[in-house]
Structure 1
């Protein structure tokens, strides 16, 4: 492992599984160990950008603890905005009922239907009057949809990204969300790009990640 500080990498991945394994490899071999504000140790790589060319094949990595049933439930919650388990917040809730006022996904769909070249089909999850005062705040901050070359593509920004534990679920859910938006707009779903400002692995996942990376290399 390298001690030299490095920031910024771009991965062009074939699918979600490829993205996860290659991202873990970069974090493990080029990240720095820090203690976060909650006292947890993480290995972190800053500003990791991953372009997933086909998010619809090989969606579930072999080494993840997530199974299809749990992933489908996660995706359903993301798209519907339901909060059946009464979490402090869900991404779906923020996207479909932002500040208990706006369905941003419906806005995105209408915007793309009205103007296929729009640069305004953007949804955010951060609510300043709420999130500056609470402990549990969204990690996924922004979802941006653009139609180019006959397909709708999704770019997602994470301020903080648990790559070891959450990335496979995040991307499975986002692939389903992109399919939903594309279906409503009447175009094909395209690529997904994630920008992870803090792409990290928690210390309780280090043994798992080390074994995975040894297998890759």
Structure 2
């Protein structure tokens, strides 16, 4: 079906569905299945920044044992050394300068905010650990990243919005919500680093590591920008059968001439 124009955005026809739930034994497999879902079930959409994407309905990735190997898909461009550094930056911070970073948003939330004449500095990770220790059945061990004072005017604003931890059956579970998530290039790194954060919180609480649930409200793939990164997941159409637009752009296997 030819693309349609809607509100300045180009998109293929879609039939909205309910949230798709993916249960996988490892982070690596969850990442692979998420990439496959977006590429096979999604539709073309041009973003407000005029970038070509394949967008999909909401995804919930559930991994019962998130530290189980492999945590990184061999198809991912980002492998162990990069991901270890990424996780360390989330936990410890970095000297690099960005419009925002998740370490500061989680460990020092409150930029440009004040209360009772003092600048706001909230260590939300410390709060989560204390709350779980003080009230093991709590549902309030939550951290947010969005800061309207800052983010409404940023070109690049946080995708991760919320982190919730629960202490259940002696294990710390983590649930995270992304308003938007680049499933191909970012989700693997996001999950890897956040599970390291989950482990750090569990260690502080003195509990084991429990389930990790990763919710992407608008999962997508930049299928033109990251075309070369799709091939290792797709395996020339043997592992993934993408929607026609992806194959026509790629043209690296016979499937491109059949769709």
TM superposition score category, shorter chain reference: over 0.9
* Structure label with greater radius of gyration: 2
Q: State the Cα deviation string for residues 6-62 of structure 1 (Å, max 9, x = none).
A: 332111111111101111111011101100010001001121111011211211110
Report how far residue 3 of structure 1 moved.
Answer: 5.1
Q: Equivalent residue for 1:216? A: 239
Is 1:73 the counterpart of 2:85? The answer is yes
TM-score, normalised via structure 1 length: 0.94
Output the CA distance in 2 between the equivalents of 1:125 and 1:3.
Answer: 33
Instruction: Find the residue that maps to 2:110 and give its secondary structure.
Output: coil
Give the secondary-structure state (helix, strand or coil) at the position aligned to 1:216: coil
Question: Which of the numbers 69, 73, 78 marks the counterpart of 1:61?
Answer: 73
Tell me how far apart the structure 2 counterparts of residues 4 and 165 of structure 1 sit (CA, whole Å): 24
Q: Which residue of 1 aligns with 2:33?
A: 22
What's the secondary structure of 2:211's corresponding residue? Answer: strand
1:152-187 deviation per Cα after TM superposition (whole angstroms, max 9, x unaligned): 100000001000001111011011000000000000
Aligned to 1:185: 205
Query: Residue in 2 aligned with 1:36?
Result: 47
State which of 156, 165, 176 in structure 1 corresponds to 2:185.
Answer: 165
Q: What is the CA-CA distance between 1:210 and the residue it aligns to? A: 5.2
CA distance in 1, matches of 2:189, 2:21: 21
CA distance in 1, matches of 2:108, 2:94: 11
Alpha-carbon separation, structure 1, partners of 2:185 and 2:83: 13
Secondary structure at the counterpart of residue 177 of structure 2: strand
The question of whether the paired residues in 2 share the 8 Å contact of 1:28 and 1:210 is answered with no
Q: Which residue does the alignment assign to 2:138? A: 118
Calculate the TM-score normalised by the size of structure 2: 0.79
State whether residues 77 and 229 of structure 2, in contact with CA within 8 Å, keep that contact through their aligned partners in structure 1.
no
**Closer, same or farther: CA 144–180 of 1 in aligned 2, 3 Å:** same
8 Å CA contact retained: 1:140, 1:159: yes
Q: Tell me by how many angstroms 1:77 deviates.
A: 1.2
RMSD of aligned Cα (Å): 1.7
Partner of 1:172, secondary structure, is helix
Q: Compared with structure 1, are the counterparts of its residues 179 and 133 closer, same or farther at alpha carbon in structure 2 (3 Å cutoff)?
A: same
Contact 1:28 1:209 in 2 (8 A): no
Superposition map of 1:60-209 within 5 A: 60-80=72-92, 82-100=93-111, 101-203=121-223, 204-209=225-230
Question: Which one of 6, 13, 20 corresponds to residue 16 of structure 2?
Answer: 6
Unaligned runs of 5+ in 2: 2-11, 112-120, 241-259
- How many residue pairs match? The answer is 216
Q: Which runs of 5+ in 1 are unaligned?
A: none
